[in-house]
Chain A
Amino acid sequence: MNTLTLDKLKIGSNGIIKKINNLGSIRRRLFDIGLIEGTKVKSVLTSPGKDPIAYFIRGCLIAIRNEDAKKIEVEECE
């Protein structure tokens, strides 16, 4: 299986979170919205400037900046 960082996940494809390397408040914010290791995410929307990207996470659409998404490892899946 293909492991990459969340920001590189293609629009429309799904992934499983493998590791969250963010620290501090953003780490807790990600936990808040239910983003933990093992969570299934789908990359859904890019903003006009290609940053941030919005992901479908546990039934909600959440925008995360690429510099934060870069620290999240994800495994592409069906």
Chain B
Amino acid sequence: MNKKIALAGNPNVGKSTVFNALTGLKQHTGNWAGKTVENAMGKLTYQNQDYQIYDLPGTYSLISHSLEEEIAKNFICFEQPDVIVVVCDAVCLERNLNLVLQILEISKKVIICVNLLDEAKKKNIYVDLKKLSQILNVEVVGTSARSKQGLDELVKKIAFFKNKSTYEIKYPPLIEESISKLIPFIECENLNPRWVALKIIENDEKTINLIEKYLNKNLITPNIESKVNDIKNNLLENDILTNEINDIVVTNIVNEANKIANKVVTFKDQNYNSKDHKIDKILTSKWLGIPIMLMLLMVIFWLTIKGANKPSEILFNFLFYISDKLEIFLNFIHLPYIFIDVIINGVYKVLAWVVSVMLPPMAIFFPLFTILEDLGYLPRIAFNLDKYFHKCLSCGKQALTMCMGFGCNAVGVTGARIIDSKRERLLAIITNSLVPCNGRFPTLIAIISMFLVVGSSSLLSSLILTLVILFSILMTLLVTKILSHTILKGQPSSFTLELPPYRRPQIIKVIIRSIFERSIFVLGRAVMIAMPAGLIIWLLANIGTPSILSICTNFLDPFAHIFGMDGVILMAFILGFPANEIVIPLMIMGYMSLGSITDITDLTVLKNLFLANNWTIITALCVMTFSLIHWPCSTTCLTIKKETKSLKWTMVSILIPTIIGFICCFLINMIGHIFM
């Protein structure tokens, strides 16, 4: 029999790190609240016993009915886990105890894991684990999950768990009286009758409905209903309204958590977070906050561009050297010419282009971005930009999902779950593809360095790229505002945003993991998508006279010219639907098969290929704009469908950027031709 273990806890307390350490999985962690948005499950075997470990979404409490909370609550209440490990942050234990107390109301099968002890120690905060264990009558384990300390003990405590807590939180006498009046009438099998009684008295309809669904029977029998009415009248006589009961209960829990924390936590340095505050003062200052943000972005781009140059060149030379050898070999085994042509010019070259031009920038940008995320900077961006999103009737958390979009739009779309309001979540989802993902950066970089920068100044390229990103952020705001006044009308909802303490990223680990995982992922995608796409382009270019490709591109040509592009470019974007990183290689293949240039020996020759096909600076600007703003890639579309569960909103998410992209290109083309 598998044992079910749940990992619960506040957001950003290292639950995922504990989870990864226990299960050996590689759930991505990040320093911001809301990283884990759905239950992840992993397995652990210890002394011949199998355990299923569930990583629940982080929640501050179980009372506020947000999406992630419902998921966590449902699991704790109705999945009957054998043990619930509540992971707590030693640095702010008090608030974490809030959740511990709420979970203890539902289930007594709890182990407390006080994590981040190393971080607390650095800040001179000490937690008396023994005392905590005594007060709550619960097993307590101290861990520093990042350095794997204490995890063995945690596993042991899980394996030999038997000590169910007997702790009950005490409410004011009137509430206690009401609870005990109701308990004898409640039949609720595996659930704690005290908790169910409290929910009935609180009139928490949502939870009651869930309990009824789980028990598959009506909880509020006429008998109970009359009791409840008596209780309510009794409370009313004592000046307690039904809607105030919840306040009383919550206040009681928060105060209790405060009392316990005062007993077990010692702060040896009251100004333990002054360093963080000093950094924050600069990173969010009135004059420097936003410029620093853009500077950081620029530095990342500069490192990406500068760093990608050399590996790109080496990979390029190597792969095209192999291409020649491969051709000789295929000739040697007397493969018919047509097959050699398919393999070399169709499949292999697209693959080689993707690997040499697209892969290096992606493999550098991604870890840099991850380091920024681990550091805890992303919530500061949300904090800095909230006002602007607020003005567009949305919320700052959209800035967070927007930042995730820089890594991958599909991740940004999933990340939108951290937004409570459904309207604002849709805004974040629809606008997410307006910021370029990791797969589109190399396209932008390539075009910038070919057409907008004389010589090869990485600094200038990164400056231009930063301006491009600024443009896409402004577009995000503009589109959000337009949507808020048209199809997604509504008022901005209230929100609270946690700014977590800065954490030192595990730089080496991030770099190694990102490079390997990211590179393997991109390579895998290249094989899965770029090769078939190369094959299709080759077939289109070689079947029929005139070839299907030239028929298609000729057909698209007049249309594409209105928007400053040409048939080949548009065709490349269409065929690039499965993956944005193949768009440029497809353009190259398209031009080459149409017979402009037959051999490319050098990256700089690429520009000549484009110039020979009548590219101008306007074409370059239009291609960049369209790369920035067009339909989301297929993976993102599928994710949008999954997240919104609506074909309508998926279509809207495809159509809006597409239409805006065409409009922008049209304007650039028109204005460009007036001046040139």
Contact = CB atoms under 8 A, between A and B. Distances in A.
Whether chain B is bound by chain A comes out as: yes
B43 interface: no
B118 interface: no
A46 B250 CA distance: 29
Contacts of B383: 45, 47, 52, 54, 63
B382 to A, nearest CB: 8
Contacts of A28: 61, 63-65
Contacts of A59: 91-95
B396 A32 contact: no
Contact of B280 (A31, A45, A49, A65): A45
Contact of B494 (A22, A34, A50): A22
A61 to B, nearest CB: 4
Interface string B68-97: 000000000000000000000001111100
Contacts of B91: 59
B601 interface: no
A51 to B, nearest CB: 5
B444 to A, nearest CB: 27
A36 B494 contact: no
A60 B497 CA distance: 11
Contacts of A51: 386-387, 390
Contact of A61 (B94, B258, B499): B499
B387 A54 contact: no
A34 B60 CA distance: 9
A59 B251 CA distance: 17
Contact of B496 (A38, A45, A48, A64): A64
A34 B254 contact: yes
B384 interface: yes
Interface string B249-282: 0110011011000000000000001001100110
Given A44-B280, A48-B290, A52-B497, 18 more contacts: A25-B65, A28-B65, A31-B64, A32-B64, A33-B496, A45-B499, A47-B386, A48-B284, A49-B387, A52-B386, A52-B387, A54-B499, A59-B95, A61-B273, A61-B500, A62-B498, A63-B499, A68-B496
- Most chain A C-beta atoms within 10 Å of own C-beta, residue among B273, B286, B388, B497: B497
B98 interface: yes
B284 A45 contact: yes
Contacts of A49: 384, 386-388
A77 interface: no
A11 to B, nearest CB: 9
B262 to A, nearest CB: 11
Interface of B: 60-61, 63-66, 91-95, 98, 247, 250-251, 254-255, 257-258, 273, 276-277, 280-281, 284-287, 289-290, 383-384, 386-388, 390, 396, 420, 493-501
10 contacts: A29-B64, A29-B494, A36-B250, A45-B277, A50-B387, A58-B94, A59-B93, A60-B92, A60-B95, A68-B494
Interface string A9-39: 0000000000000100110111111101111
Contacts of B284: 45-48, 54
Interface residues on A, range: 35 or more
A24 to B, nearest CB: 8
Main secondary structure, interface of A, reads: mixed
A45 B257 contact: no
A68 B289 CA distance: 23
Contacts of A34: 94-95, 98, 254, 257-258
A32 B94 CA distance: 12
Q: Which 3 A-B pairs have the closest CB atoms?
A: A49-B387, A59-B92, A26-B494
Contacts of A67: 494
B60 A47 contact: no
Contacts of A63: 383, 386, 396, 496-499
Given A25-B493, A52-B396, A68-B494, A58 B95 contact: yes
- Most chain A C-beta atoms within 10 Å of own C-beta, residue among B287, B494, B497: B494
B494 A47 contact: no
Contact of B386 (A36, A37, A44, A65): A65
A16 B493 CA distance: 25
Nearest to A57: B95
A63 B334 CA distance: 70
B198 to A, nearest CB: 15
A45 B281 contact: yes
Contacts of B388: 49
Given A28-B63, A52-B396, A59-B92, A44 B277 contact: yes
Nearest to B265: A59
A59 B493 CA distance: 25
